[in-house]
Amino acid sequence: MLAARNDYNFDHPDAFDFDLLTHTLRKLKQGKSVKIPVYDFTTHGRQKEWKTVYGASVIIFEGIMSFADKALLQLLDMKIFVETDSDIRLVRRLRRDITERGRDIEGVIKQYNKFVKPAFEQYIEPTMRLADLVVPRAGETMEPALRAVCKDVRIGKILIQTNQDTGEPEVHGCTNVAHVTILHIPSDHDVQEDKILLVSLLMAEMGVHSVAYAFPQVKIITTAVDKKVNDVFHIIPGIGNFGDRYFGTDAPPDWSDEDIDKPSC
C-alpha cells in the first residue's frame, strides 16, 4: 500500500537485499551460474519466475547503491561512478516511470522530492570518493587534463544551448552552429583569431567546415569527427551524454551500426 501511494522509500539502503547481492556476485566471480529474482516495477514486487545468469571472466555490476555495502565493495575490482546533472536525472526518471511503469507525474515528483533526492545526497553522492574512476558531467571532461598540462591557463565557461523550437543556438551541449556563435564572443572582444583554440570532444564534418570557413585562423582540436548530422543538426551517432557514448547506453533513436564506416580489409 505504501508503494502504491509513493510513500515507500526504495532509495534507502535498507530496501536492498545486500545479502543476496553479495552471495550472487561471489558465485558469479567463481564462474558459477546463479538464479536471480525478477522484479516487477509496476506491482513493486518480485515475480514468481527467476532468471539464470552465468559466471564470466568480466562481470559488470551496476546500481545506485553499488558502493553502499562494505561486503559488496570488497567484491568490486574496479569501481566507476558516472556523474550526471540532477535535472537530467529527474527528466530520465519522469520519462521512465511514466512511460514504462505507468505512474502519474504527481506521484513521481512526490517520490523524487521525498525520497530520491534526499537519498542521493545522503547515501549515493558521498560514495563518489570510493570510486576508482569518476566519469564527470558532459562539458567538464577535458578541463582537469587541460589544467594539468597548462597549469597557468585561464579558463572561462560559456553555456550554449540549442533552442529546440527554432534550432538556433542560445548563449546561456554545442551544435555545429553553436561553435560558430561562441567564437564570435572572443572576436567581439578584440581577441586575435590566431590566438583562439577551439577544443571539442567531438565534432561533425559539417561543423569543422563551417568553423574553418568563418574563422580560418582558429585552430581546431577534437578527438573525432562524425560524418553525419540529423534533421535537427545533432551529430550521428554523436556523444549525447558522455557516459552514454562511453558505455553504449541510450543510443539516439536514429543511430545504428550501419552509420559507422566499416574498416576495409
Calpha distance 34→14 (Å, rounded): 23
Give me the pLDDT at residue 162, please. 58
| Higher-scoring residue by pLDDT: 75, 91 | 75
Domain 143-255 has CATH 3.40.50.2020: yes
- pLDDT tens digit sequence for 200-243: 777 888 888 888 888 898 888 887 888 877 776 677 766 555 55
* pLDDT, average across residues 92-119: 88
Residue 204 φ then ψ, to 5°:
-95, 150
Any idea which residue has 512511460 for its cell? 99
Q: Which numeric CATH code is attached to 13-135? A: 3.40.50.300
Average pLDDT, the chain: 76
Give me the pLDDT at residue 33, please. 93
pLDDT surpassing 60 at residue 24 = yes
13-135 and 143-255 in the same fold: yes
Q: Where are the domains of the chain?
A: 13-135, 143-255
Instruction: Report yes or no on whether pTM surpasses 0.75.
Output: no
Calpha distance 114→11 (Å, rounded): 10
Of 21, 125, 35, the residue nearest 74 (C-alpha): 21
Cell (9 digits) for 180: 560558430
Q: pLDDT > 70: what percent of the chain?
A: 67
DSSP class of 257 = G
* pLDDT, average across residues 179-191: 65
